[in-house]
A and B are shown apart, each in its own frame.
Chain A
Amino acid sequence: LSISDPDAPAAPPAPTSDLAGVAARALVVDDNALIRRLVSQVLAGAGFAVDAVSSIDAALQLEPAGYQVLIIDVRLGAERGTDLVEMLRRSNPLLPNRCLLMTGGLGDSLPADVAVLVKPFDPDDLVAAVLSLHPLAARNRPA
């Protein structure tokens, strides 16, 4: 299990894509460095190989289609996480099924077919929401 965050110099390198292996891959997209790190740590503790980025451009460079789950903050500074979801949808209509949008409950207009996790949440809420997206991730979860 590993966590990769380009904005955190001390982070270990990104894991290789290994869909046949034990670790499902999760991509965290959040512009808040502390949230990004904590979410990544929680997911790594739940058995995921985690990459974390702070922007849509950085997420697209990691080829999001290669991840089993994508945890995306709705508000990414001036960007919107929902824009990333729509970009993914255009490339593959099934990709939004792998996305989990984190929102502060501002009444943002959110796509109806994408899972949502409302802030504040605790680690159990996060893991439960992510596992509900991908059965493979649930099977691979450490006992």
Chain B
Amino acid sequence: MTAPRGACPPSGADLATAGPATAEVHHLLRLLVTLQEREHRHLAELLHDGPMQEFTAVLLALGRMRKIVTGDVAHQLSAIETQLLHTVQSLQRPPSPFRPGNDARTMIETALLQWVDGMLADTLDIDIDVEARSPSPAELPVLVAVVQLLLLTSEPTGRAAQVTVAVRSDAATDALTLTLRAAPGNPGIDDTEARASQLRRLAHAVGAQVECDPHSGAWRATLHLPAPPGQPAASSGAGSVT
């Protein structure tokens, strides 16, 4: 994994020691993602029950009209149909990241692409290797929410310029490690100290460690999730979050 643009190697000089993440905090993170899922589904249903029905009706009506006209009018109607179809297709909401049938890797990637890429990060690189142990349904939303909240804390009103998310599992310990690297946006604004302070507070709350480069403003956060008690290696299958 390469360091983000503008980031210096971690010096350790600005290392915040993580406090113990409570089960309650991780429960809140799961609720947060569940809420996102609920909103996602609600918006999709609103789109399906409203505009999508109307657009389908318009397309069917246009298609019927095209059958009874000829020549240039028929060609123009056909062009309108095609344009409308493409426009409506572009409005389709993507499937839920945590839909049943997705494996853990797909869930994480899809969630990051939907809820981080373009919204919290200008450029997002994802590197996932969870062959040794797949994150459990309880861990998946925690991983995703920690990424989102740290980036939102770093960039309360904008997007980070470059973000790299890595999730790895350790075959020996069954632990999961999330590593999040970010180069902040708006490099002209000197808010490095304030950002670092806010990041430390949040990282402490969620059980992560954060290192901030005081010169570039780039930062790196690490979250370790130990193997669930009594969980044999590589046995935690993914499932629905909600």
Are A104 and B52 neighbours in the complex by a CB distance under 8 Å? yes
Complex: A104 Cα to B44 Cα, angstroms = 9
Given the complex of chains A and B, what is the CA–CA distance between A107 and B37 in angstroms? 13
The answer to whether B95 touches A107, judged by C-beta atoms less than 8 angstroms apart, is yes
**Quick check: A120 and B45 within 8 Å, CB to CB?**
no
- CA of A122 to CA of B56, assembled, Å: 7
Q: Mark A99-143, 1 if CB is under 8 A from B, else 0.
A: 000001111010000000001111110100000000000000000
Evaluate contact between B92 and A38: CB separation under 8 angstroms.
no
Question: Are the CB atoms of B63 and A42 closer together than 8 Å?
Answer: yes
- The answer on a CB contact under 8 Å between B100 and A34 is no
B48 interface hit (Cβ, 8 Å): yes
User: Which residues from A are CB-within-8-Å of B41?
Assistant: 106
- Given the known interface contacts A45-B64, A45-B67, A106-B48, the answer about A121 and B99 at a Cβ–Cβ threshold of 8 Å is no
B64/A105 in contact, CB under 8 A: no
CB distance from A129 to the nearest CB of B (A): 13
- Beta-carbon nearest neighbor of A102 in chain B: B56
Task: Report how far A35 CA is from B99 CA in the complex, Å.
Answer: 28
Q: Which of A34, A38, A75 contacts B64 (CB 8 A)?
A: A38
With CB as the reference atom, state the residue of chain A lying closest to B101.
A109
Question: When the two chains form their complex, are residues A123 and B49 in contact, meaning their CB atoms are under 8 A apart?
Answer: no
Complex Cα spacing A107 to B242, Å: 15
Shortest Cβ distance from B61 into A: residue: A38
Q: Among B81-89, B126-134, B186-194, which stretch is in contact with chain A?
A: B81-89
Q: Which B residues are in CB contact (< 8 Å) with A122?
A: 59-60, 62-63, 81, 85
What string of 1s and 0s marks CB contacts (under 8 Å) between A25-52 and chain B? 0000000101100110110010000000
| Top 6 closest pairs, chain A to chain B, by CB | A104-B48, A123-B63, A107-B95, A38-B60, A120-B56, A122-B63
Q: Can you list 26 contacts pairing A with B, beta carbon distance less than 8 Å?
A: A32-B53, A35-B60, A38-B61, A41-B64, A42-B60, A42-B63, A75-B48, A75-B49, A104-B48, A104-B53, A106-B41, A106-B48, A106-B95, A107-B96, A109-B100, A119-B52, A119-B56, A120-B52, A120-B89, A122-B62, A122-B81, A122-B85, A123-B60, A123-B63, A124-B63, A126-B60
